[in-house]
Amino acid sequence: MTADAKATYEAMASVYDLFTAHYDDELWIGELVSALERNGLRGERLLDVACGTGKSFLPMLDRGWEVTACDISPAMLARARAKVGEAVPLSVADMRALPEIGKFDLVWALDDSVNYLLSEDELLKALSGMGANLAPRGLLLFDVNTLVAYRSSFAETVVVERAGRRLVWRGQTASDVEPGSICEAVLEEDGGPAKTHEHRQRHFADAEIRSAVKRAGLTLVDAYGLYTDGILRQPLDERAHTKAVYIARTG
């Protein structure tokens, strides 16, 4: 994630789980694990990049995986730490300059975290860093928003009311935004202007993703599309699916 994303998630860490409470994390992770297993997943060591508050790795702990995780936001990591204590090694790290933390059977970056990278160069650096943390025969998985998502959710206003709180997502992006554009939205906490969190993401087309994977020294082994129901589908259709999921390996 970029420095802008760090500021955003530092500010919204306290409401992140509330805003995403409707996500079916178990279904989502189950779909991803099934896809990974079809592509030869083995082992039990996961590096979760841009782990946020831990929602992306908790289902893997339940599956018996040994998890290591990192995020650019200390505030988000503090929320994750409150859930797992010392059971998961957590560290602050920028995916554009990811250190070699270890050799993992699976490295992933979920929930469109890659879209906070604002250039092809940043994408290449992130993929290269994640690839450097793969064990032999290990797999890398990441997802990105498609142009459909930016022309819909980043162009719309959505109100979420839970636990006596009101969160308003206001898309700032044109409904006919061009491919490869920087897209923006703001999240207003309780409608107060002093608690407005700005989100800036870049759309990466399928061709850009495939090129960056190859330039990072990785081999793309599978790709999926999905709608908001979280079910993986093939073939990936950028004109219909709201999200794309890619699986790669070293070599």
Cα distance between residue 9 and residue 35, in whole Å: 29
By CB atoms closer than 10 A (0-12, 13-18, 19+), residue 235 is exposed
By CB atoms closer than 10 A (0-12, 13-18, 19+), residue 45 is middle
First to last CA, the chain: 25
What tokens appear for 139 in the block?
Answer: 């797999």
In this structure, are strands 218-226 and 243-250 parallel, antiparallel, or unpaired?
antiparallel
How confident is the model over 126-146, as pLDDT tens digits?
999 999 999 999 999 999 999
pLDDT of residue 251: 78
| Coil, strand or helix at 75 | helix
pLDDT of residue 2: 52
| CATH value of 3-145+205-250 in 3.40.50.150, 3.40.50.1580, 2.40.50.140, 3.40.50.2000 | 3.40.50.150
Cα distance between residue 239 and residue 8, in whole Å: 29
Q: Find where tokens 């032999």 sit.
A: 136
Q: CA 123, 75, 83: angle at the middle one, nearest 5?
A: 105
Intervals of the chain under pLDDT 50: 1
Enter the pTM of the model: 0.96
Name the residue among 167, 202, 162, 173 with its Cα closest to residue 187.
167
The answer to whether the beta carbons of residues 94 and 4 sit under 8 Å apart is: no
pLDDT of residue 202: 98
pLDDT of residue 193: 57
The C-alpha R_g of the chain, in whole angstroms, comes to: 17
* Domain layout of the chain by residue ranges: 3-145+205-250, 149-200
